[in-house]
Structure 1
Amino acid sequence: MLFFKGLSVWKGFTGTSEPIEASWPEIRGPIDAALRLHYHNHPDRLHDHVLLFQGKRLWAYGEGRLRPGYPRLIEEEFPGVPADLDAAVECHPKECPSETVLFFKGPMVFAFDLRTKALKQRAWPAVSGCSAAVRWIERYYCFQSIHFLRFDPVRGDVAAHYPLDARDYFMSCPGRGHGKDTRKNATLWGIAHACSGRPFQAFSSDDSGRIYAFRGGQYFRVDSVRDGLHAWPLNHTWPALEGEVDAAFSWADKLYLIQGSEVTIYRSGHGYSRVEGYPRSLSEELGVSQADAAFTCPHSGELYIIQGSYLRQIDLQQSPRHPGAAWLLPHPHVDSAMCTTKGVYLFIGAEFYQYTDVAQLSTATVAPPAQNTAAVFFRCSLPGAPQQPPAQGQHLPQDNTQ
């Protein structure tokens, strides 16, 4: 993450500043706004470019080099967007109806659709006076002086308990911070930190590559290297969801979260929204009374439920749904499970076991070698052991934001 102030830029959460012109020599003076653009529909244009705004002009940098034809007027690239901006941030298509850039100026927000070039002007009273804006792990933040708030990029709603002080969250300041005493509380440390070695109660992977791990009423975003060690309350992403998640799986752009004998379904469109009528009983929805673990494989309508040492298959496209025959697993118990394009992962205690596919899992009589979950999935350094690389096929893209 890049922090701009005056003629300086800080790269990352710690360390000293450097002059802006050291990285972007064509820029003179402070900038008004900055963002990194992920233009997936037109990767030949400004995909993965850093855009810096100053007065009436903008600069576009790719791999640290100024793109030919820049700087240019803001109105040439984004027709209708005013000059002298306060802030800007890109909204990804999974969180907005389409690839959109939000521009902030005073009390107004300008939403620019990258595909249609349509511009919508909005008044979001709760999100006004932003001096900077950023997307960080599917969340959107507006900075107001040294404070910040988290907002919905479609409606402009601000989450509860904001604003907060940026010095406790986004930068390392002596004597400040929101998690510095976590290690003193063994219970809190075990729940809220991925490296504690405590087992996870559920894992989930969807077709877009997002991976979540659940433990003790909180969750970790596994596929984000930069934020993989940080736990978040469930309701930060899934409105009104509380308690502990026992199992989770994705299907048809929906996330199924199993808690005891009930299941709640969330649509994974622009953020997550709960499907009306849920939670419902697990037996009514899936034809089973409980699940120790559950998983679906990418682009498949087959659900696999683990109960004790048995694996059962359920066709999600069937109505009513009911489990098929049971296969005996070479594990007496499984805490959680997940399936990606690289195989099936069973998590037991602090370790996991990787199988090539469901066919190998269902016929296995001997378990494969155990691997450490914290070391492989979260890159935790273990006492007396070298740090291990990510598991084969583990997709851990960096979340690049300004």
Structure 2
Amino acid sequence: MHGPTAALCLAWALALGCAHPLTHEKPGAVGVGPPHGAEPPSNDTELLELCGDESGLDAATLSANGTMLLFRGERVWERSRGGAHSRPLAASWPELGGPVEAALRLHRRQHPQEHDSLYLFQGEQVWAYAGGQLRDGFPRRVGDEFPGVPGGVDAAVECHPEECRGESVLFFKGDTVYSFDLELRVTKQRSWPGLGPCTAALRWLERYYCLQGTSFQRFDPVTGEVPPGYPRDIRDYFIPCPGRGHGHRGPGNESRAAAGNRCSGLPFDAFSSDDTGRVYAFRGGQYFRLDSGRDGWHAWPLGHAWPELQGEVDAAFAWDKKMYLIQGSQVSIYLSDQGYKRVEGYPRALHDELGVTSVDAAFTCPHSEKLYVISGNSIQLVDLMQTPRRAEVAVPLPHAQVDSALCTNDGVFLFHGPNYHKYESVAELTGASQPAPPRNISTDFFQCPQ
């Protein structure tokens, strides 16, 4: 199982009966977290203390199962879809004997000794843990384990080769960044004055973040550049603080909060999957990414993944390593390789690009150049290889209205309101006289309570 089909298995296990969960980690990775309903309960008093402390975090990284670890003082917080829970550092790492100054997890499947090791930094020393056990020979001097990197680093984050032109680690100390090449075992110093000191650093959903106190900035791991819209408050994004979150701020906060609540039952504006297997659900100017259980529980602003994009997405589909995002009478195209970059000259008029004037939903099926456009209660075919593109004669659908649509190796899915309808193929959809039985989006996609 691969591509969009595999990517949907975790979120749709209840409805589709997939044989195994998908984590969207590299092959062989451990699952995405505790079983649904099995998360340890949050301690509300400790969480309020964490949210009220303006000093921020000491370090941040991911656990072996992909959940976020947040270090502060003598405790570590672990985020899960049930909220967050904390435990003393000594409960997991008794050898430390004090707070952590930086944290790092390496994912190097070709190097079994280092693979999935958790590195915790204190002053001149670094501890490395594998499978919860301290590795032989540790603690070591930071400079012995990472030649050229000084002790007393403020933050560290692994830099994946597909995003950083090589397998490396970024270490932050004051205003200086030390880039350590994991293959060559050499260090280069960098100066990124626009980024500023980082007290913690984190890679999350192929994006890199520098945390300082209660603020954070996203940055390019190659150039250090920070996109517009930063800094932001970590308590609105990374810490599940009661009454906070980016949906709670500014005018219209109630509607944004509802749109960002996966279990609200509100309709979704669009669904799509891309060539890399990432699966997205769009609603209210925000998106959920469903191929990873780490992300399917939290909504993000569109600009987080697709720079320059604002407003709401009416329809979305992927083809030829590009993502097409339709807003009203315009369409924007983003290259899918190494993060999304908008193609120069876009947005363009929908009619000029696709040969249609209106779109309620759109989808392409895997390894096909055929685009299906739904408007009202009819569907049209557009050959994406054709120039200029034009729509064929419309065919009636057994649905009076559709909000969004998606096609994977498992079939075709039409969404309307809080429900979706599954068809084995486009032929079954267009040949149906009645809608397929409705199924609940929140329950099956997001594992919300019925």
For normalisation by structure 2, the TM-score amounts to: 0.74
User: 1:377: which partner in 2?
Assistant: 445
Q: Is the 8 A contact 1:35 1:88 kept in 2?
A: yes
Amino acid at match of 1:146: T
Q: Give the SS at the match of 2:263.
A: helix
Matched, 1:18 2:87: yes
User: 1:37: which partner in 2?
Assistant: 106
Amino acid at match of 2:75: S
Moved more, 81-90 or 345-354: 81-90
> Structure 1 286/172 Cα, relative in aligned 2: closer, same or farther at 3 Å?
closer
Aligned-pair CA distance for 1:338: 1.3
Amino acid at match of 2:384: L
Aligned-pair CA distance for 1:280: 1.4
Amino acid at match of 1:38: H
> Structure 1 15/320 Cα, relative in aligned 2: closer, same or farther at 3 Å?
closer
Matched, 1:110 2:178: yes
> Structure 1 147/307 Cα, relative in aligned 2: closer, same or farther at 3 Å?
closer
Equivalence map 1:306-321=2 (5 Å): 306-321=374-389
User: 1:346: which partner in 2?
Assistant: 414
Q: For 1:251 and 1:99, locate their aligned partners in 2 and report how far apart those are by CA, in whole Å.
A: 29
Aligned-pair CA distance for 1:259: 1.5
Q: For 1:366 and 1:242, locate their aligned partners in 2 and report how far apart those are by CA, in whole Å.
A: 37
Q: Is the 8 A contact 1:189 1:196 kept in 2?
A: no
> Structure 1 80/344 Cα, relative in aligned 2: closer, same or farther at 3 Å?
farther
Amino acid at match of 1:377: F
Q: Give the SS at the match of 2:442.
A: helix
Matched, 1:291 2:291: no
Moved more, 167-176 or 293-302: 167-176
Equivalence map 1:359-378=2 (5 Å): 359-378=427-446
User: 2:122: which partner in 1?
Assistant: 54
Q: Give the SS at the match of 1:9.
A: strand
Matched, 1:85 2:153: yes
Deviations 1:309-344 (A, max 9, x none): 333333333333333454433222211111233222
Q: Give the SS at the match of 1:12.
A: strand
Q: For 1:214 and 1:15, locate their aligned partners in 2 and report how far apart those are by CA, in whole Å.
A: 25
Q: Is the 8 A contact 2:362 2:372 kept in 1?
A: yes
Amino acid at match of 2:197: G
> Structure 1 240/177 Cα, relative in aligned 2: closer, same or farther at 3 Å?
closer
Q: For 1:179 and 1:339, locate their aligned partners in 2 and report how far apart those are by CA, in whole Å.
A: 30
Q: In structure 2, which of residues 279, 291, 298 is the aligned counterpart of residue 211 of structure 1?
A: 279
User: 1:155: which partner in 2?
Assistant: 223
Q: For 1:83 and 1:330, locate their aligned partners in 2 and report how far apart those are by CA, in whole Å.
A: 66
User: 1:278: which partner in 2?
Assistant: 346
Amino acid at match of 1:233: P
Matched, 1:259 2:327: yes
User: 1:397: which partner in 2?
Assistant: none
Amino acid at match of 2:191: A
Q: Is the 8 A contact 1:195 1:229 kept in 2?
A: no
Equivalence map 1:118-157=2 (5 Å): 119-157=187-225
Moved more, 161-170 or 276-285: 161-170
Matched, 1:3 2:70: yes
Aligned-pair CA distance for 1:79: 4.0
Deviations 1:32-70 (A, max 9, x none): 311233336x27454433222334443333332334555
User: 2:14: which partner in 1?
Assistant: none
Q: Give the SS at the match of 1:90.
A: strand
- Percent identical: 57
Deviations 1:353-382 (A, max 9, x none): 12233343343333322111122212222x
> Structure 1 320/87 Cα, relative in aligned 2: closer, same or farther at 3 Å?
same
Amino acid at match of 2:179: A
User: Gapped runs of 5+ residues in structure 2?
Assistant: 1-67
Q: Give the SS at the match of 1:197.
A: coil
Amino acid at match of 1:21: A
> Structure 1 363/64 Cα, relative in aligned 2: closer, same or farther at 3 Å?
farther
Matched, 1:250 2:318: yes
User: 1:392: which partner in 2?
Assistant: none
Q: Is the 8 A contact 1:255 1:266 kept in 2?
A: yes
Aligned-pair CA distance for 1:248: 0.6
Moved more, 352-361 or 160-169: 160-169
Q: For 2:108 and 2:146, locate their aligned partners in 1 and report how far apart those are by CA, in whole Å.
A: 14
Q: Is the 8 A contact 1:94 1:271 kept in 2?
A: no
CA-based RMSD: 3.2
> Structure 1 172/315 Cα, relative in aligned 2: closer, same or farther at 3 Å?
closer
Deviations 1:244-295 (A, max 9, x none): 2111111222111111222111112332211101111222222222222111
For normalisation by structure 1, the TM-score amounts to: 0.82
> Structure 1 205/45 Cα, relative in aligned 2: closer, same or farther at 3 Å?
farther
> Structure 1 341/58 Cα, relative in aligned 2: closer, same or farther at 3 Å?
farther
Q: Is the 8 A contact 1:94 1:269 kept in 2?
A: no
Q: For 1:91 and 1:220, locate their aligned partners in 2 and report how far apart those are by CA, in whole Å.
A: 24
Q: For 1:99 and 1:67, locate their aligned partners in 2 and report how far apart those are by CA, in whole Å.
A: 22
Q: Give the SS at the match of 1:377.
A: helix
Matched, 1:220 2:292: no
Moved more, 255-264 or 351-360: 351-360
